[in-house]
Amino acid sequence: MGTNYQRFAGGGSPVYLNPGLNFLTKIGISDLFEDHRIVGAFRFSGIADLFTSGGVDNEVLLSYEYRKKKIDHQVVLHRQSFVKIDDFNGTPARAHVHDIRYTAKLPINEVLGAKGSVLYRNDKFTYFSQGDVSLPKKPAYDNYVGLRAELVFDDTRNVMVNIMNGFRGKVWGEYWRKIKNERHDLITAGFDLRHYQRVHRQITWCNRLAGGTSWGTDRLLFYLGGVDNWFNAKFNNEINIVKPETYQFQTLATNMRGFSQNIRNGNNFVTYNSELRFPIVKYFVDRPMRSDFLNNLQLISFFDLGAAWYGLNPLSKENTENVNTYLQGSNLSPIIITVINDKNPLVAGAGWGIRSRLYGYFVRLDFGYGIDNFRSQKAVIGLSFATDF
């Protein structure tokens, strides 16, 4: 529910980016003219999380919007708790994130708008007592303040669910500063451009170009691979992270179907996605059907291309070599084995999928075949819950 980035987990799977099955409730109220709007939401852990994380993977959100004047104002309070995050010494911790966001929205014309936000974030880490190292550790606190600017363009027309015509996009930039004597900051910027071209009747060719970068002392790590809201998400632990000590936050860079998460990573990423969406029933039957599933049933073919890398040069040695070290033998006479594999920063994926709405949820099932180092990979099946890309 929150829009801020998760804390860097030290290179393991970003488990809490995929909460899995859970209980989510969202309630909104507004006046007759919709000048004031209040939204409240909370999410509780799923059954699996009750056993694996003690049921602490929860979120609470409260939002108020004032929309009477030309400039809209919004205040959001958000709290999230989760586990399975490690510091660099390998000590697991329970994290509580509290953030406050004020946003002003200015419409420039019918299709263009600007947003500005002031942000505050408080992170509390309580380390598990699992030995002599973690037992004396006291809770740690991090406080950040930030600014965000965003320019949004939207000139699209909805045809049906997941089918539209036109162009939309946005560019944004953020600056975060840690409240501490020493300098700790994060600067990040990105863009997301999407074009929807009508081919014939409801058949639409959709293209997306997106990218992002981060720099500063507390950088943002992009995990390339998979899709958003992936139900059966998988994470690739074989791809190492270059200079993990430079990161404090992490997020996913999607779409890259045909791969698990972390097929590539770094403080920079760019992706290109192309889909041909074919609403098979609506195309041949020119009348509404009683079945919501058949009304929104779509077949798609897709092609994804993307890269993620560290630093300025994606072709540098640290970006094109993946180093894994294995320890064999006994403690008295260990054998250290180092394996170096070539790693092209650019990967691709292609395949097909099915889309429709089932019990009010828009469900996506994708069959993707990845291309890594110019070699085709086995199919990866992705079940997700989201519209568009």
pTM above 0.85, yes or no: yes
> Does residue 343 register a pLDDT over 90?
no
Domains and CATH numbers, the chain: 6-385 (2.40.160.50)
Token representation of residue 153: 């363009």
96-113 b/e (C-beta count within 10 Å ≥ 16 → b):
bbbbebebebeeeeeeeb
Spatial distance between the Cα atoms of 75 and 60, rounded to a whole number of angstroms: 14
Contacts of 378 (CB under 8 A, 6+ apart): 369
Residue among 91, 298, 127 at smallest CA distance from 204: 298
Average pLDDT, the chain: 87
> Does residue 48 register a pLDDT over 50?
no
CB count in 10 Å sphere of residue 16? 21
Looking at residue 185, what is its pLDDT?
93
> Does residue 137 register a pLDDT over 80?
no
pLDDT tens for 88-114 read 556 677 888 899 999 999 999 999 999
Residue among 103, 199, 89 at smallest CA distance from 133: 89
Q: Residues 177-192: what's their mean pLDDT?
A: 91
> Does residue 323 register a pLDDT over 70?
yes
Spatial distance between the Cα atoms of 313 and 278, rounded to a whole number of angstroms: 39
Spatial distance between the Cα atoms of 377 and 130, rounded to a whole number of angstroms: 40
Token representation of residue 298: 């779509």
User: Higher-confidence residue: 50 or 377?
Assistant: 377
Q: Residues 235-256: what's their mean pLDDT?
A: 89
Spatial distance between the Cα atoms of 117 and 126, rounded to a whole number of angstroms: 29
Spatial distance between the Cα atoms of 238 and 215, rounded to a whole number of angstroms: 25
Looking at residue 386, what is its pLDDT?
87
Residue/partner pairs of 196-203 with CB below 8 Å, 24 or more apart: 196/156, 196/163, 196/164, 196/165, 196/166, 196/167, 197/165, 198/165, 199/276, 201/283, 202/159, 202/160, 202/163, 202/278, 202/279, 202/282, 202/283, 203/276, 203/277, 203/278, 203/279, 203/283
pLDDT tens for 218-245 read 999 999 999 988 887 888 888 888 888 8
Residue among 296, 229, 264, 233 at smallest CA distance from 371: 264
Residue/partner pairs of 96-102 with CB below 8 Å, 24 or more apart: 96/123, 96/124, 96/126, 97/2, 97/4, 97/7, 97/121, 97/122, 97/123, 97/124, 98/122, 98/124, 99/2, 99/4, 100/75, 100/76, 101/3, 101/74, 101/75, 101/76, 102/73, 102/74, 102/75, 102/76
> Does residue 53 register a pLDDT over 50?
no
User: Higher-confidence residue: 87 or 335?
Assistant: 335
Looking at residue 18, what is its pLDDT?
56
User: Higher-confidence residue: 339 or 179?
Assistant: 179
User: Are 218 and 176 a contacting pair, CB within 8 Å?
Assistant: yes
Lowest mean pLDDT among 11-25, 27-41, 260-274: 11-25
- Report strand pairing: 219-224 vs 247-253: parallel
